[in-house]
A and B are shown apart, each in its own frame.
Chain A
Amino acid sequence: MLRDVTLGQYYPVESPLHRLDPRMKLSATMLYIVSLFIANNPACYLLATAALLLAIRISRVPVRHFLKGLRPIFMLLLISMLFNLFLTGGEPVLVHWAIFTITWPGVRQAIYMAVRLILLIMGSALMTYTTTPTSLTDGMEKGLRFLKAFHVPVHEIAMMMSIALRFIPILADEADKIQKAQMARGANFEEGSIVQRAKAMVPLLVPLFISAFRRATDLATAMEARCYHGGAGRTKMHPLHYQSGDRIAYLLLFAYLAFVILLRVIL
């Protein structure tokens, strides 16, 4: 069960998008999400969809892969659509049956919401598919360096993130082993009410936490033995420098953003 955690799974192919600077991809994703919330008419959404499809084409990650990634949010999507469909008031009313009322603004709102969510998930997935976790944390560390002025421990947070990513499969494996060991001694994780099942998780979580702390101590010692002493004076195996490709990407990004704003203003 826990093995299915697929956080930021990288899709290893060669493409111009894979080669871009992670800082560029991070800000592009952020601005793309902003653009989805600026958009308020069909033309905007068409433009956003077209831009994303183009980016996916350039990335050479199969669209199939993206659709698979959408599966877990299907329920969320459905629920938010239904809520929007039935609970948005306004004129003209399309269907009225018992307590259910479907209005034209409701339909529009439901469709917009769905498109927005789908594009949002696919857009952020594009970033994780084309960027390795390490370069993503490197990008965050360097891109958010200005936060150091506000005493945000940027290097430490980035280091924690990359270590967390490294340990997800190890801890997932361990949880699996503990679960099997408890099941062998008669624990039941599959039946009973939600409360009972939640209670059954306790004998799984306690040993998992203890082991995680033990691993953390070991890792800290190993890191110290390898001269780790924070971010100061540290050099990088992959120093980040913007290339010409990144400049072009930034130009395209800002052009896209300007277009979305323009479409919102004039339509």
Chain B
Amino acid sequence: MAIIKTDNLVYEFTRRDENNEVVETVRAVDDVSLEIAPGEFIAVLGRNGSGKSTIARQLNALLLPTSGTVWVDGMNTQDGEHLWDIRQTAGMVFQNPDNQIISSVVEEDVGFGPENMGVPTEEIWKRVDRSLEAVGMTAYRRSSPEHLSGGQKQRVAIAGVMAMKPKCIILDEPTAMLDPSGRKEVIQTVRELNQSEGITVILITHYMEETVNADRIYVVDQGVVRMKGTPREVFSQADRLKELKLTVPQVTELACEMKKAGVDLPGGILTVEELAGALCR
């Protein structure tokens, strides 16, 4: 059974004037149907304003659909009764690391979710220990988030979600405010969690390099899913991606250009090693 499933999801923002009359409605998400199996690593790609963050917020009931349905582990997000179960099942990491850490001590922040869920004290500490270990931040457990780098803060935020024992983590542009090394650090952590803990990952991003290792990619533009498939399938259509104002990874672009110029190469090359291997055949 799918862990997350959306059926013809539509979401409209309405802007109202002072008299509470509708000025305009913007369709941010338009007829999106996703189906995500447990343990998958899914990437949702799209440029700024493509509606990808709005989709993310639908997946743990921070926003509710205008029409259509979202199912999280068999629970309908419109069913208010399951609200906290849904948020626990599908944890969410946000873009700005500073605006999601609520405590002045790392380990206390990680324990915030379980505290809210009413988990007994000893169990909270066990979960905090495990989560900090899973993201490799045990050494900083007593530090103040002030003294951490952006990448480390995001790892703490991920640990905070892990402590809620979710089945699925949604990361809403977790690397957009980080430097390249922090970005690598976070993506590495997410991949490890996906592989060793079997957590379903939904990574929302506009950096294509980060999606190379995903199982499947959805490319979103203007609220509509424009392309979907494995990274190889998606990246082999470099021209189409450029039309959607996305930058293809450098190697992929180089391979595409070489292919156009007549070099015999397979489509959708994703890494430098792969290109080198194909050229040396």
Contacts and interface: CB of A to CB of B under 8 A. Distances in A.
A236 B116 contact: no
A163 B102 contact: yes
Interface in B7-32: none
Nearest to A225: B92
A236 to B, nearest CB: 6
Given A166-B101, A224-B87, 9 more contacts: A134-B103, A165-B104, A219-B100, A224-B62, A226-B113, A228-B112, A234-B116, A237-B111, A237-B128
A150 B133 CA distance: 44
B161 interface: yes
A170 B153 CA distance: 13
Contacts of A163: 102
A199 B115 CA distance: 45
A222 B57 CA distance: 11
A234 to B, nearest CB: 6
Tier of interface size on chain B:
35 or more
Contacts of B62: 221, 224-225
24 contacts: A132-B105, A134-B105, A162-B102, A162-B103, A162-B104, A163-B102, A166-B101, A218-B94, A218-B99, A219-B100, A222-B94, A222-B99, A223-B102, A224-B87, A226-B116, A226-B160, A226-B161, A226-B164, A228-B112, A233-B118, A234-B118, A235-B121, A236-B121, A237-B128
From A132, A134, A166, A221, name the one whose CB has the most chain B CB atoms within 10 angstroms: A166
A202 interface: no
A2 to B, nearest CB: 14
Nearest to B98: A170
Interface of B: 60, 62, 84, 87-88, 91-92, 94, 96, 98-105, 107-108, 111-121, 124-125, 128, 145-146, 160-161, 164
Contact of A225 (B60, B120, B121): B60
Contacts of A133: 104
A134 B102 CA distance: 11
B118 A134 contact: no
Could you tell me the dominant secondary structure of chain B's interface residues? helix
Which 8 A-B pairs rank lowest in CB-CB distance, beginning with the nearest? A222-B100, A218-B99, A226-B113, A227-B116, A237-B111, A225-B92, A233-B118, A228-B116
Given A134-B108, A221-B62, A234 B115 contact: yes
Nearest to B92: A225
B111 to A, nearest CB: 4
A215 B99 contact: yes
Interface in A172-211: none
A212 to B, nearest CB: 11
Contacts of B96: 215, 218
Given A134-B108, A227-B87, A234-B118, A219 B102 contact: yes
Nearest to A228: B116
Tier of interface size on chain A:
20 to 34
A218 B100 contact: yes
Could you tell me the dominant secondary structure of chain A's interface residues? helix
Contacts of B94: 218, 221-222, 225
A71 interface: no
A165 to B, nearest CB: 6
Contacts of A227: 84, 87-88, 113, 116-117, 164
Nearest to B119: A235
Nearest to B116: A227
A169 interface: yes
Nearest to B86: A227
Contacts of B128: 237
B159 to A, nearest CB: 12
B102 A237 contact: no
Contacts of A235: 114-115, 118-121, 124
A229 interface: yes
Contacts of A165: 104
A239 interface: yes
Contacts of B146: 169-170
A227 B113 CA distance: 6
A226 B87 contact: yes
B121 A239 contact: yes
Contacts of A233: 118
B121 A237 contact: yes
A133 B104 CA distance: 8
A166 B115 contact: no
Contact of A237 (B87, B92, B115): B115
B90 to A, nearest CB: 9
A110 to B, nearest CB: 40
B118 A237 contact: no
A225 B115 CA distance: 13
Contact of B125 (A132, A169, A170, A237): A237
Nearest to A165: B104
A62 to B, nearest CB: 22
Given A215-B98, A235-B120, A239-B121, A226 B103 contact: no
B104 A225 contact: no
